[in-house]
Structure 1
Amino acid sequence: MSNRKVLGRGLDALIPTVGSVEPRADEVPTHIPLETVDANPFQPRKRFDDDRLKELAESIRTDGVLQPVVVRRKGSRYELIMGERRLQAARLAGVPTIPVVIRDVRDSDALRLAIVENIQRENLNAIEEAQAYRRLITEFSMSQADLAAMVSRDRSSVSNTLRLLNLPEEVQRMVESGALTGGHARALLSLTTQKEQLVLARRIVEQNLSVRQVEVAVGLVREKKSSGGRPAREKPAYIADLEKAFAQHLGTRVSINEKRGGKGHVTIEFYSYDDFERLAALMSVPLPR
């Protein structure tokens, strides 16, 4: 079962003066000129799907903006707090006004709300999420424990996400562009040098490797390093074929070592507890709960 919880309640507990990430039932939206609304300078999301924006813009041309965006006053203008995609689509649709809910929000809360809104809707790629976490920690002196509570994630998840910022910049750009997934990036963290991470990242893109294949490749690199780069003793062809068949069926690396008298042992690798559960399910092994 996922450890993720509803985010709104955790956010309200931290910034009760701001309220939930969505407009409340008692808030009456008002229409203001679209040209008076400026983008959110704290928006952690950098990339938007053009096709989905066009679809939303077409819907707005037909039915208008159905859900108001949240803004705050900035002199004679307004600054967006939440609803970046709706704002961009409204501009694309060419509508003159947009429904808004106006709130009195501080800079720190504006950043928190923008981050939580995107995490709640799973809009951020893994690098954008990591950068947003780092901003909260550095700009607002939050601990990882406080941050984990705010976004309703366990502390290890937050820590591992932040570690993605240690990957080579080229690899981070691959994640931001969608060439690599967050799962690919997390698998690369198990490699100890940036050179190894970059080489494998390029291979992922060139060969369209799955996350499972990357985890196997990482295991091979680590095994080679631990053996001092010495090639493993060659196994009989029928053993190698069996290993390949098991690996293809289980989706992970399998090692078969044969001993005298028809004995031996089989090693099945897993790379996370979720991976272990997946393997157990494949082999119909009930796990204690």
Structure 2
Amino acid sequence: MRRSDNKYVDGNEDATVYHIAIKDIKPNPYQPRKTFDEESLVDLADSIKQHGILQPIVLRQTVKGYHIVVGERRYRAAQIAGLSELPAIVKQLTESEMMELAIIENLQREDLNAMEEAESYAKLMHDLNMTQQEVAKRLSKSRSYVANMLRLLNLPQPIAKMIREEKISGAHGRTLLAMKDVHKMKRLAKKVAQEKWSVRYLERYIADHKVNQKVETSSKRAQSKPQFIRKQERQLKEQYGTQVSISTRNQKGQITFEFTSEAEFKRLIRQLNNDQLF
């Protein structure tokens, strides 16, 4: 390690920049990012060859050398470029601080997809024992935003993979969660990707599907009733001017009158008080 004469502004303070041998630097064991685009690394390596490292990486010194806190992509590109040392700022950090900085740096990536973002929030909560509210406050997000992103972790793996590959968006994924049948959800996700559906179109499709499913279920339930029960339902509907349902089970039953407003409710009560059903 050799000290540079240069200073780098880190927050509100000047930080000393050291030149650290690349062989002494190790990747961050808490790095949530598992894959790095090789083509973009090569592009960055070409830029480094031409302009050098414009921003020092941040390291934490350990008994085994130096661990990267911030700047693993620059470290990998510098290796490709053939550099033997890197400009770095060495910070005194705890394990928890190192873990948190690695996750926060990952969240600041421009190419971060929705699944990676959701996994980073979950990792902060699990590894650092944070609540959703604490994660939201630390990252200047609303708690509802964090909660909505975390819902993506409930998606089946094939759909999560589609979001990672940017075939569908995170918003598509959250909308698909309204489908309770996993097999139908997977089929619909493929259709969304193939036909390039907008999120709004998907929302309308699912809403219509639920309505149709409800009508179909009601129709099947009605058809399964004995004929004399269906006849009584029709008569009561005509008599009281509203939808009436009669259900029976184990020699017990229930008559349900439907109303859609307070005025309709009061009208029904008056009629029921004045009339005798049977």
Relative to the length of structure 1, the TM-score reads 0.66
Instruction: Give the corresponding residue for 2:250.
Output: none
Match of residue 141, structure 1, among 87, 109, 129 = 129
Note the C-alpha offset of 1:176.
Answer: 2.0
Note the C-alpha offset of 1:229.
Answer: 6.1
Distance in 2 (CA, whole Å) between partners of 1:59 and 1:226 is: 59
Distance in 1 (CA, whole Å) between partners of 2:211 and 2:72 is: 46
**Alignment CA distance shift 1:80-1:209 (3 Å):** same
Match of residue 63, structure 1, among 21, 38, 51 = 51
Distance in 2 (CA, whole Å) between partners of 1:43 and 1:130 is: 15
The yes-or-no answer on 1:88 pairing with 2:71 is no
Moved more, 203-212 or 149-158: 203-212
Note the C-alpha offset of 1:160.
Answer: 0.8
Match of residue 114, structure 1, among 84, 87, 102 = 102
**Alignment CA distance shift 1:87-1:214 (3 Å):** farther
Note the C-alpha offset of 1:158.
Answer: 0.6
Note the C-alpha offset of 1:90.
Answer: 1.4
Output one character per residue of 1:24-82: Cα deviation in whole Å (capped at 9) or x when no partner: 44102111111221111212223333332222111001111110111101224111111
Note the C-alpha offset of 1:111.
Answer: 1.9
Instruction: Give the corresponding residue for 2:239.
Output: none
Match of residue 48, structure 1, among 36, 41, 44 = 36
**Residues 23, 68 of structure 1: 8 Å contact kept:** no
Tell me the secondary structure at the aligned position of residue 72 of structure 1: strand
User: Which structure 1 segments of 5+ residues have no match?
Assistant: 1-21, 232-289
**Alignment CA distance shift 1:213-1:55 (3 Å):** farther
Aligned length: 210
Output one character per residue of 1:250-279: Cα deviation in whole Å (capped at 9) or x when no partner: xxxxxxxxxxxxxxxxxxxxxxxxxxxxxx
The yes-or-no answer on 1:200 pairing with 2:191 is no
Note the C-alpha offset of 1:87.
Answer: 1.6
How does 1:253-264 map onto structure 2 within 5 Å?
Answer: none
How does 1:1-289 map onto structure 2 within 5 Å?
Answer: 23-24=10-11, 25-228=13-216
Tell me the secondary structure at the aligned position of residue 210 of structure 2: helix
**Alignment CA distance shift 1:46-1:210 (3 Å):** farther
**Residues 103, 124 of structure 2: 8 Å contact kept:** no
Instruction: Give the corresponding residue for 1:247.
Output: none
Note the C-alpha offset of 1:206.
Answer: 2.6
Distance in 1 (CA, whole Å) between partners of 2:202 and 2:23 is: 47
- Which amino acid letter does the alignment assign opposite residue 67 of structure 2? E
Tell me the secondary structure at the aligned position of residue 27 of structure 1: strand
Note the C-alpha offset of 1:224.
Answer: 2.5
Distance in 2 (CA, whole Å) between partners of 1:61 and 1:155 is: 43
Distance in 2 (CA, whole Å) between partners of 1:104 and 1:84 is: 18
Note the C-alpha offset of 1:151.
Answer: 1.0
Tell me the secondary structure at the aligned position of residue 228 of structure 1: helix
- Which amino acid letter does the alignment assign opposite residue 44 of structure 1? P
**Residues 23, 70 of structure 1: 8 Å contact kept:** no
The percentage of counterpart residues that share the same residue type is: 36
User: Which structure 2 segments of 5+ residues have no match?
Assistant: 1-8, 220-278
Q: Name the structure where strand makes up a greater proportion of residues.
A: 2
How large is the Cα RMSD of the aligned pairs? 2.2
Distance in 2 (CA, whole Å) between partners of 1:139 and 1:63 is: 38
Distance in 1 (CA, whole Å) between partners of 2:93 and 2:82 is: 28
Distance in 2 (CA, whole Å) between partners of 1:106 and 1:123 is: 28
**Larger Cα-atom Rg:** 2
Distance in 1 (CA, whole Å) between partners of 2:88 and 2:19 is: 6
Note the C-alpha offset of 1:150.
Answer: 0.7
